[in-house]
Amino acid sequence: MSEHDQRTPVAITGLAADDPHLQPAARRPELVEQVIAVLFVAGIILCLGFGVAYWQNWAPWTLGATMGGGLSLMGIGLIAWGKYLMPRGPFVEERHTLANSEEDRNAFAAAIVERGGSVIKRRKFLGGLLGTGVGIFSVVAAFPLVRSLGPMPKGTLFHTDWKKGSYLVDITGRRVNVSDLAIGSIVTVFPEGKQDTDNGQAVDQTVLIRLSNQDYTTKKGRETWAPQGYVAYSKLCTHLGCPVGLYEQELELLVCPCHQSMFNVANGAMPTFGPAPRPLPQLPLMVDSMGYLQSQSDFTEPVGPGFWERHS
């Protein structure tokens, strides 16, 4: 048992000046005082150094180093002062029972129960009306806090800006031609005119990939959707909406960087691994007379993550 633990704890009041509990903990207080003084002086120099570093516009790390070093040294000195040079104790204080006496508790309960009871009992109807009023007020008071914040969702999540005949453009606004991409290429496309808009980037974003004709598995009803091996899928992951920009051309896999859902590009972007539950919606494509790619229509299902009103 340490020497500290062996001393019996005493109350701090009414001690004689030479009581062992009031003596500093250090065996050589003068030496400790000198060490603390050195720490403080070093701390002062570093704190002044912070001022100089700021005034002279030195590198950011010097600001942090001087402030950090100065504060730390002053702190260590102060802690040492408290630990080694101040009364070492241990001291004791009594815990007074938190709970009050029986009479006080009864009086308190009586005040609430009897006084309150007599009021309510005789005026139950009024009490009920008051309660109803406060309740209704709390509900309607919440209306402006909640409803005015934003618009109703309505059908917003069900449509994008893609329409029949929208040209596919890249981020610079340049239309994509069938002769532009080699097999194994990927480019992020938007409907023409929407590449700079918030909604365009957040909702319309689509990846265009060129597969070899022989790789593409035609799904029923989508036979015309992928001319010349070009497939387009919504870039919004069906898990949580991250852009699925990671394409592995040999594996023909779109991998979502957020939670590693993997979509098979050659098979309608079916999820083959990871938490995504649904395939990426496919954008039906067509080619115009000059070779520029257009969409046949909007996506045939809502893009992005699932929500309550989504039908399937």
Residue given tokens 């630990």 in the structure block? 83
78 binds other proteins (CB under 8 A): yes
For the chain, report the end-to-end CA distance as a whole number of angstroms: 71
Tokens of 153: 């969702």
157 binds other proteins (CB under 8 A): yes
Closest to other proteins by CB, 72 or 127 = 72
Collapsing DSSP to helix, strand or coil, 192 comes out as coil
127 binds other proteins (CB under 8 A): no
d(CA 105, CA 162): 72
Selected from 45, 52, 61, 119, the binder of other proteins by CB under 8 A is 61
Least distance in angstroms from the C-beta of 221 to other proteins: 19
Q: Indicate the DSSP class of residue 211.
A: -
List helix spans (H) across 99-163.
102-110, 116-122, 124-146
The helix (H) or strand (E) run that includes residue 78 is helix 60-80
214 binds other proteins (CB under 8 A): yes
101 binds other proteins (CB under 8 A): no
82 binds other proteins (CB under 8 A): yes
Count interface residues toward other proteins (CB under 8 A). 125
Selected from 18, 30, 102, 198, the binder of other proteins by CB under 8 A is 198
Closest to other proteins by CB, 3 or 18 = 3
Least distance in angstroms from the C-beta of 151 to other proteins: 6
Residue type, 44: I
Least distance in angstroms from the C-beta of 129 to other proteins: 31
List the interface residues with other proteins, window 13-52 (CB under 8 A): 13, 25
Please choose, out of 116-124, 131-139, 254-262, 292-300, the segment that lies near other proteins by the rule CB under 8 A: 254-262
DSSP 278-304: SPPPBPPEEE-TTSBEEESSS-SS--S
CB 227 within 8 A of CB 210: no
Please choose, out of 101-109, 112-120, 126-134, 197-205, the segment that lies near other proteins by the rule CB under 8 A: 197-205
149 alpha carbon, distance to own chain's centre: 21
9 alpha carbon, distance to own chain's centre: 49
Closest to other proteins by CB, 35 or 74 = 74
Least distance in angstroms from the C-beta of 126 to other proteins: 33
Backbone φ, ψ for residue 142 (5° rounding) = -80, -15
Closest to other proteins by CB, 3 or 102 = 3
